[in-house]
Amino acid sequence: MSNYARCLAHIALHFKISPIYLNEEQVLNYLYYLRTQHNTPSKSFFKHTIYGLRYAFRMYGLKELRAALPSLEQPKKLPVVLSKREVKLFLKAPKCLKHRLVLGMLYGCGLRCFELCNIQLKDLDFDREMLHVRQGKGRKDRYVPLSQMLIRGLKKYIATEHPTKWCFNGKNKKGNAVALSRRGVQWIVRQTRERSGINKEITSHSLRHSYATHLLEMGLDIITIKDLLGHACIQSTIVYLNVAKLGRQRAFSPLDKLYSQ
What is the set of active-site residues?
112, 137, 205, 208, 231, 240
C-beta contacts of 186-193 below 8 A and 24+ residues apart: 186/113, 188/94, 188/99, 188/102, 188/103, 189/103, 191/94, 191/99, 192/90, 192/93, 192/94, 192/99, 192/103, 193/90
Q: Which burial class, exposed, middle or buried, applies to 217 when counting CB atoms under 10 A from its CB (0-12, 13-18, 19+)?
A: middle
- Yes or no: say if 166 and 180 are a contact pair by the CB < 8 Å rule: yes
Q: Which among 109, 77, 84, 78 has a CA at the least distance from the CA of 208?
A: 109
- Yes or no: say if 5 and 49 are a contact pair by the CB < 8 Å rule: no
